[in-house]
């Protein structure tokens, strides 16, 4: 008999005997955690009922952040890792909000009101159609084949919501407006706001509001999703729609149409176009993507994932976003010119110039760089856990 193997066997048996007690304690604690989570959920249900009763929003950012701050402080006192506890509670709070949002989807600010969604068969139109129906609204859809029934579909409606591609929005607004009463709220979901808002104001005498959901129709809920609202006319008559979005869990950002479009030139058009150019260059170089992933850092996987995400979606949708306005196209031309200005730096192997410009830009980014580092590190860590 090998003495070393015998010793290892004895050690293993001793370990198995001693660890049983601790594993039983861990199992008991896990059971208590599950019981506490169930009790917590029961209290959440009571809060949901109160929120429904008083039309209170699902998402309360100040309370959530205050709770996280207190938990992090408590973690330090109990020798737990604050980041671990925050991650754990972010998951718990997220699940709580999603469940609340789903239940709130059955609560309407104006239940029984009539909603017409022009383009209701599309992805975003279908998304909002489902939410309104769950909340007790009477929803009608108007598609391209329904215009001969437009007068009937518009009878006694409280909200007409235009959800069609950007290039068709203004024509559809002009086409639907004559069928609307002066009390009907007219709104659109387009990702540009100046021209559609002006067209609604020019075509309809009643309440008008511009809406831009900053998310895709594949979202499971409105939990913490941003919806930009651009005021048009008769804000008091538009308020119920905003309150409904809040009740569903959305975060409302109010903006002028011009401010919205200026920012979206960067947030949407420039970002998507730059991603397209990067993807196009990889394609032209015949880069073996699967091979690059074998050598990739988590940050590269994250970046290439965002590029691949773009090309997994509808090309016509992105063409509409990128080429939506002359202003957007001019901005993208400026971007290309800016890239060309760096040619001389590369040709001259001018590292000092690169460092100088790098530091200048870093100073311009200021404190946001630290925030970006923290947030991207969090995403990288999550990606590392997953893959």
For residue range 105-136, list pLDDT tens digits in order.
567 899 999 999 999 889 899 999 999 998 99
Task: Name residues whose C-beta falls within 8 Å of residue 190's C-beta, 6 or more positions apart in sequence.
Answer: 162, 166, 169, 196, 210, 212
Are 227 and 286 part of one and the same domain? Answer: no
Mean pLDDT of 220-247: 92
Report which of residues 17 and 303 the model is more confident about.
Answer: 303
For residue range 309-361, list pLDDT tens digits in order.
999 998 998 999 999 999 999 999 999 999 999 999 999 999 999 999 999 99
The pLDDT score that the predictor gives to residue 106 is 64
Are 123 and 237 part of one and the same domain? Answer: yes
Are 135 and 235 part of one and the same domain? Answer: yes
CATH number of the domain that residue 126 is part of: 3.40.50.720
Instruction: Kindly state whether residue 274 falls inside one of the protein's structural domains.
Output: yes
Domain boundary among 255, 275, 293: 255
Mean pLDDT of 252-281: 96
Domain span at residue 329 reads 260-386
For residue range 22-68, list pLDDT tens digits in order.
999 999 999 999 999 889 888 888 887 787 777 777 667 777 778 88
Are 251 and 265 part of one and the same domain? Answer: no
Domain boundary among 233, 255, 277: 255
> How does DSSP assign 48-92, residue by residue?
HHHHHHHT--S--HHHHHHHHHHHHHHHHHTT--HHHHHHHHHHH
Are 194 and 85 part of one and the same domain? Answer: no
The yes-or-no verdict on residue 94 having pLDDT over 70 is yes
The pLDDT score that the predictor gives to residue 42 is 87
**Token duo for residue 3:** 């003495």
Own/partner contacts of 88-94, CB < 8 Å, gap of 24 or more, are 92/37, 92/40, 93/64, 93/67, 94/223
Record the pTM: 0.75
Determine the Cα–Cα distance for residues 189 and 124; give it in Å rounded to an integer: 8
Total structural domains within the chain: 3
Cα dist. 263→237, 255, 271, 328 in Å?
A: 27, 10, 11, 11
Work out the end-to-end distance of the chain between its first and last CA atoms, rounded to an integer number of angstroms: 44
Mean pLDDT of the chain: 90
CATH number of the domain that residue 273 is part of: 1.10.3660.10
Domain boundary among 209, 237, 255: 255
CATH number of the domain that residue 27 is part of: 1.20.59.10
The yes-or-no verdict on residue 103 having pLDDT over 70 is no
Percentage of the chain exceeding pLDDT 90? 61
From the number of C-beta atoms within 10 Å of its C-beta (0-12, 13-18, 19+), residue 363 rates as exposed
Instruction: Kindly state whether residue 109 falls inside one of the protein's structural domains.
Output: no
Determine the Cα–Cα distance for residues 105 and 249; give it in Å rounded to an integer: 9
Length of the chain: 387
Are 34 and 66 part of one and the same domain? Answer: yes
């Amino acid at each position: 008999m090998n003495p070393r193997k015998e010793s290892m066997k004895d050690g293993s048996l001793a370990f198995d005997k001693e660890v049983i007690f601790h594993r039983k304690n861990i199992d008991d604690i896990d059971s208590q955690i599950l019981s506490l989570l169930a009790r917590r959920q029961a209290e959440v249900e009571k809060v949901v009922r109160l929120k429904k009763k008083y039309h209170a929003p699902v998402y309360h950012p100040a309370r959530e952040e205050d709770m996280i701050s207190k938990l992090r402080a408590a973690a330090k006192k109990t020798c737990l890792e604050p980041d671990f506890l925050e991650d754990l509670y972010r998951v718990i709070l997220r699940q709580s909000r999603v469940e609340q949002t789903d239940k709130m989807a059955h609560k309407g600010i104006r239940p029984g009101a009539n909603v017409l969604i022009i383009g209701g068969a599309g992805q975003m139109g279908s998304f909002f159609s489902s939410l309104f129906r769950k909340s007790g609204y009477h929803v009608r859809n108007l598609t391209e084949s329904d215009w001969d029934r437009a007068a009937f579909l518009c009878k006694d409606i409280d909200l007409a919501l235009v959800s069609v591609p950007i290039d068709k929005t203004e024509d559809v607004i002009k086409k639907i407006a004559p069928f609307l009463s002066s009390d009907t709220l007219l709104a659109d979901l387009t990702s540009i706001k100046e021209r559609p808002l002006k067209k609604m104001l020019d075509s309809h005498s009643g309440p008008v509001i511009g809406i831009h959901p900053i998310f895709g129709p594949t979202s499971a809920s409105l939990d913490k999703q941003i919806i930009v609202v651009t005021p048009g006319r008769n804000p008091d008559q538009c308020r119920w729609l905003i309150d409904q979005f809040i009740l569903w869990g959305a975060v409302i950002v109010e903006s002028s149409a011009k401010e919205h479009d200026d920012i979206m030139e960067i947030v949407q058009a420039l970002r998507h176009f730059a991603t397209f150019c990067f993807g196009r260059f990889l394609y032209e170089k015949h880069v073996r993507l699967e091979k690059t992933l074998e050598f990739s850092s988590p940050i590269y996987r994250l970046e290439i994932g965002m590029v691949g995400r773009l090309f997994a979606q509808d090309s016509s949708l992105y063409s509409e976003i990128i080429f939506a306005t002359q202003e957007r196209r001019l901005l993208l031309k400026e971007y290309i010119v800016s890239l060309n200005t760096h040619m001389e730096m590369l040709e001259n192997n001018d590292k000092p110039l690169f460092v100088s410009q790098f530091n200048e830009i870093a100073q311009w980014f200021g404190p946001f760089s630290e925030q970006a580092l923290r947030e991207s590190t969090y995403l990288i860590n999550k990606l590392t856990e997953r893959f």
